[in-house]
Amino acid sequence: MSDSLLGASCKSPATVAALKRQLSPAATKQQLPYPETINLPFNRQALPNGFVLHPTPQPATDADGIWVLLQGATVVMRDVAGELFLPEGACPDWLQLKHPPLSFGTLQGKPVRVASVPSGLQIPPELVAEPFNAFRERITPELMTVAGIGKQLLHWQRMSRFCSYCGQPLEQLPESWGKKCVGCTNEHFPHIHPCAIVLIRRDDQLLLIHKPEWPVGRYSLVAGFLDVGESMEECAIREAMEETGVTIKNVRYVASQAWPFPSQQMVGFVADYAYGDIVVDGKEIDDARWFSIGALPSLPASRSIARFLIDSCSIGAN
């Protein structure tokens, strides 16, 4: 595992040292009720050894490097005997970029760049466009995390060209991914949207939901964005009521996960059923039901905090 604080926004050596102590393996075992929560994919502790996140965008050069090539909801990978790797080398000849690539880190000393591939561009046969949300997990968590951070930073760069207050252009801040307005001088930083996701238990049963856009038979957990004036626990309670009609109690925090699709922070909870019958709106949620732990349906991939919660918190009281 890499140093999760490489490229961190805090500049004080004392602050960084304190955070490192808190995230050390010994401290983690004492503080966390479930092991390895900080190592969930897309969190910094899941980055590969030798990865260093730049504290601010770096100029793209012609030097060979590693490429995170995003095409819609997929990442373009090299397929070597069934194993997937990020492409390496100079900028590919076939790549028709509308915008310059973004250099956001290094891996084993090689620059790592992210770029968006036009949706209609056909990729070479030696490459594959692997969905981020593929159920068959062929991308390693380490490379998926690199690609996810690149995806989130590229999204931020594109969404932060102008000030939302006065409309003037934004310019890059030094030593930060934030930007400053050339007009009103307001500063803007990457937008991260908190979401609550909750595993709801009733004896040996779990309450799972299905959305119309998900594969048939695939179920997951209640989740939704934080609203104004809410705590994360209140968000979990409200989302449970809105999506299933069920009231929950004993909401307990478990873990969180960076979720770069495009810029969420998933905050995971486990809760107990209190009362209420299942009612769904048939639009956002088309099914919700209780499943026995021994007879669960098709579940989210293990890269997600939804699956982590199911695997970690299904049995026993917290």
Residue ranges covered by each domain of the chain: 13-158, 193-313
- Say whether 193-313 and 13-158 share the same fold: yes
Write the secondary structure of 60-115 as one string of H (helix), E (strand) and C (coil).
CCCCCEEEEEEECCEEEEEEECCEEECCEECCCCCCCCCCCCEEEEEECCEEEEEE
What 3-state DSSP class applies to 253? strand
Chain segment 80-120, per-residue pLDDT in tens: 988 999 999 998 888 878 788 999 999 999 999 999 999 88
Chain segment 198-255, per-residue pLDDT in tens: 999 999 999 999 999 999 999 999 999 999 999 999 999 999 999 999 999 999 999 9
**Host H or E run for residue 148:** helix 141-159
The rounded radius of gyration (Å) of the Cα atoms in the chain is 21
Q: Is the peptide bond before 33 cis (omega within 30 degrees of 0)?
A: no
Topology of the domain comprising 13-158: Nucleoside Triphosphate Pyrophosphohydrolase (3.90.79)
CATH superfamily ID and name for 193-313: Nucleoside Triphosphate Pyrophosphohydrolase (3.90.79.10)
160 token code pair: 């932060």
Name the E strands within 117-239: 127-131, 170-172, 179-181, 187-188, 193-202, 205-210, 222-225
pTM metric for this prediction:
0.85
Q: Check if the beta carbon of residue 199 is closer than 8 Å to that of residue 309.
A: yes
Average pLDDT over residues 34-41: 66
What 3-state DSSP class applies to 270? strand
Q: Read off φ and ψ for residue 141, nearest 5 degrees.
A: -55, -35
Which is more confident, 207 or 13?
Answer: 207
